[in-house]
Structure 1
Amino acid sequence: MSRTQGSQDLGKAIIRIVLGVLILLHGIAKLMAGPGFVIQTVTQAGLPSFVAYGVYIGEVVAPILLIIGLWTRPAALIVAINMIVALALVHAGQLNMINKNGGWELELQGMFLASAIAVALLGAGRLSVGGVDGKWN
């Protein structure tokens, strides 16, 4: 093991666990509120209503996989796709907006998307259930 491998594995664990926990909390809020808003949003975009239930895969199932470090790369890609769909369907009007504090209106969504892409590229690391030898980790 190289001298930096331990810190790299810790860094990978931190980013995937924090991303997983924050997205999961967002998903739990959606579970508690029910699928109404998401169904309305996807049907207004001309998509079939069953597509709305994909949000639970992207905001509940995939984050749990990220947290434990199992099938990490596909889970991160699912979160990234979920964020792209959310940006397109819910936040498209805010893409060029600055908030009252002078920051980008979509800072959180942008960070979720970038983090998910980073985790998909980096993998889970050794500090995961799947380990570095897992096919999808």
Structure 2
Amino acid sequence: MNVPRLGGPTLSLFRIVIGLLFTLHGLTSVFGLFGGNPMTGEAIALGTWPGWWAALIQLVCGTLVLAGLFTRPAALLASGSMAYAYFVVHQPDHVLPLRNGGELSALFCWSFLLVAALGPGSWALDNLLARRRDVRSVPAVPVAEPGSMVV
């Protein structure tokens, strides 16, 4: 088994799954889909701090990470929002995530930090856009006319 050959696709699959799960949390809280917010069963009221803004970050960053577009900044913002959720919402109740209900925040925080550090993997829109940019930025090489001297 060639681990480096599988590294890019494996990281891509990890990013896709984490992005999808985060997006689903955002859809649940912003629009009330899939049974709504786990606490109330409804969408979070527009503009409510910090819940609605956190849900918006989940929706936008989760979608970007899922697609592999602006992956590193989106993953870094998502990681930071989950660190905030852990330390402000969960950690005051108890130090251990198992006791304070913060396991999901901690897992998302570290998962997104990993994606921000390692990048999107091989299957990402970021890579496709980078290749297109590289093709456009290659300067055209002048071709000499037959019989002319090139200095």
- Between the aligned partners of 2:112 and 2:86, the Cα distance in structure 1 is 14
TM-score normalised to structure 1 length: 0.72
Q: Which has the larger radius of gyration?
A: 2
User: Which residue pairs with 2:57 in the alignment?
Assistant: 58
TM-score normalised to structure 2 length: 0.66
Which structure has more relative contact order (CA 8 Å, sep 6+)? It is: 1
Q: 1:133 to 1:8 in 2, by over 3 A?
A: farther
User: Which residue pairs with 1:34 in the alignment?
Assistant: 43
5+ long unaligned stretches in structure 1: 43-51
Letter matched to residue 113 of structure 1:
C
Q: Is the 8 A contact 2:79 2:113 kept in 1?
A: yes
Q: Is the 8 A contact 2:12 2:123 kept in 1?
A: yes
Q: Between the two proteins, what is the percent identity of the paired residues? A: 26
Aligned residues: 120
- Between the aligned partners of 2:67 and 2:104, the Cα distance in structure 1 is 23
- Between the aligned partners of 2:73 and 2:65, the Cα distance in structure 1 is 9
Q: 1:89 to 1:104 in 2, by over 3 A?
A: closer
Letter matched to residue 13 of structure 1:
S
When the two chains are superposed, the root-mean-square deviation of aligned CA atoms in Å is 2.8
Offset of residue 93 of structure 1: 2.6
* 4+ residue runs over 4 A deviation: none
User: Which residue pairs with 1:129 in the alignment?
Assistant: 125
5+ long unaligned stretches in structure 2: 33-41, 131-151
SS at match of 1:126: coil
